[in-house]
């Protein structure tokens, strides 16, 4: 296992949206999530979930 991996929500947006300019890069690195302890900035994560991943 790799140590802690700080992942900003932008990574997940890019991974989710194939039209995102960073999608290919995020997709190429997603395997690192399986071998790492993921550290998320909680305030950014809450704001992202509340504004993006919930229905209107």
> What is residue 26's DSSP assignment?
H
Q: Locate the domains of the chain by residue range.
A: 2-51
Q: What is the pLDDT of residue 22?
A: 96
- Each residue's pLDDT tens digit, 1-56: 567 888 888 888 898 889 999 999 999 999 988 888 888 777 777 777 776 666 65
pLDDT tens figures, 33-44: 888 888 877 777
Q: What CA–CA distance (Å, rounded) separates 23 from 9?
A: 13
pLDDT for position 5: 80
Residue linked to tokens 């947006």: 13
Q: Which pLDDT does position 19 carry in this prediction?
A: 94
- Global pTM? 0.66
């Amino acid at each position: 296992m790799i140590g802690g991996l700080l992942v900003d929500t932008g990574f997940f947006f890019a991974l989710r949206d194939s039209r995102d300019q960073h999608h290919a890069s995020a997709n190429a690195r997603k395997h690192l999530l399986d071998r790492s302890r993921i550290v998320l900035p909680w305030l950014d994560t809450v704001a992202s979930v509340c504004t993006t991943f919930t229905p209107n």
